[in-house]
């Protein structure tokens, strides 16, 4: 396909979602938040009390997901069966469930074509774990964005505090480490930089610094 894709992969809390959104706005590209697809699969499974370790059931749920993404007040809203679940899919229990179901090859296969369908003119920014390795291996710009686990836990802590949610920093750090381990050690599309990805560390770097670096890559390669 000739339609350019910019892939932004990395662990949770690295800032990839923020960078992807800013890039898409700047370039007028479509945006794929692939983590939302795993979160929606997890939420659909939790809603119907499915056994989260039953791959056949989870694969069936992923294959038949009734979802849409809609622009509402400048934000992308995630709809599951016509209901706005944008907030629900960010809950900690959904995050943990998403990382469990994302380890299942059947679930990943069921969501693959759905992700590729986001590739439309004039271009796509896709963020996740395996955008550069598996979903869009031919992307002209691939970024692997990291940050230390401590910094990522602190960012999440601040985000939640702004929303009035009180959590312990230590619990968040533990959750992040557990999810990192699961994402990196699974057999199906583990979290890892593509061979041709540019690796950026956002620890102590502000968002605009990262954005400028990626925009330069886009100018050089697209």
Binding site for ligand C5P (CB under 6 A): 12, 34-35, 38-39, 98-99, 102, 128-131, 179, 183
Supply the minimum distance, in Å, between the C-beta of residue 115 and ligand C5P: 8
Tell me whether residue 34 is annotated as binding.
Answer: no
209 known ligand binder: no
Tell me if 4 is assigned to a ligand binding site.
no
133 appears as a binding residue in the annotation: no
Question: What is the side-by-side order of every strand in the sheet holding 75-80?
Answer: 67-72, 75-80, 83-84
Can you tell me which residue has the tokens 């896709």? 126
DSSP 85-107: -TTGGGSHHHHHHHHHHTT-HHH
Closest CA to 191 of 30, 5, 14: 14
How near is the Cβ of 219 to ligand C5P at its closest, in Å?
26
| Shorter beta-carbon distance to ligand C5P: residue 131 or 139 | 131
The answer to whether 5 touches 124, Cβ cutoff 8 Å, is yes
Residue nearer to ligand C5P on the CB measure, 126 or 214? 126
> What is the distance between the alpha carbons of residues 46 and 6, in angstroms, rounded to a whole number?
32
The minimum distance between CB 122 and ligand C5P, in angstroms, equals 22
| Closer CB to ligand C5P, 98 or 214, in the complex | 98
12 or 30: CB nearest ligand C5P: 12
106 has binding-site annotation: no
Give all strands (DSSP E) within the chain, no chain letters: 5-9, 30-33, 67-72, 75-80, 83-84, 124-128, 141-146, 198-201
Judged by beta carbon, residue 39 or residue 155, the one nearer ligand C5P is 39
Tell whether residue 15 is among the known ligand binding residues: yes
Q: Which two tokens stand for residue 34?
A: 């692939």
Instruction: Retrieve residue 162's tokens.
Output: 């702004």
CB of 126 to ligand C5P, least distance (A): 8
Shortest distance (Å) from residue 82 CB to ligand C5P: 22
CA angle 192, 76, 42 (to 5 degrees): 55
In the bound state with ligand C5P, the residue whose beta carbon lies nearer, of 179 and 214, is: 179
Q: How far is the CB of 30 from ligand C5P (least distance, A)?
A: 16
- Check whether 105 is labelled as a binding-site residue: no
**Tokens encoding 85:** 């679940």
Annotated binding residues, written as ranges, equal 10-18
> Binding site for ATP: what residues are annotated?
10-18
């Amino acid at each position: 396909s000739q339609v350019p894709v910019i892939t932004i992969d990395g662990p949770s809390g690295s800032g990839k979602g923020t960078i992807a959104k800013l890039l898409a706005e700047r370039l007028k590209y479509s945006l794929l938040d692939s983590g939302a697809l795993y979160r929606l699969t997890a939420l659909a499974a939790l809603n119907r009390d499915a056994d989260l370790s039953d791959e056949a059931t989870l694969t069936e749920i992923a294959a038949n997901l009734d979802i849409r993404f809609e622009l509402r007040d400048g934000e992308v809203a995630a709809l599951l069966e016509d209901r706005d679940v944008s907030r629900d899919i960010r809950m900690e229990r959904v995050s943990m469930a998403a990382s469990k179901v994302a380890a299942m090859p059947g679930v990943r296969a069921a969501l693959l074509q759905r992700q590729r369908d986001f590739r439309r003119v004039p271009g796509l920014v896709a963020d996740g774990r395996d955008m550069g390795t598996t979903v869009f291996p031919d992307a002209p710009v691939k970024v692997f964005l990291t940050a230390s686990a401590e910094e990522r836990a602190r960012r999440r802590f601040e985000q939640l505090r702004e929303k009035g949610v009180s959590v312990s920093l230590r619990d968040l750090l533990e959750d992040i480490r557990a999810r990192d381990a699961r994402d990196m050690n699974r057999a199906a599309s583990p979290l890892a930089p593509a061979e041709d990805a540019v690796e950026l560390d956002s620890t102590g770097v502000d968002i605009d610094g990262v954005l400028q670096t990626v925009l330069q890559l886009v100018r050089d390669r697209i």
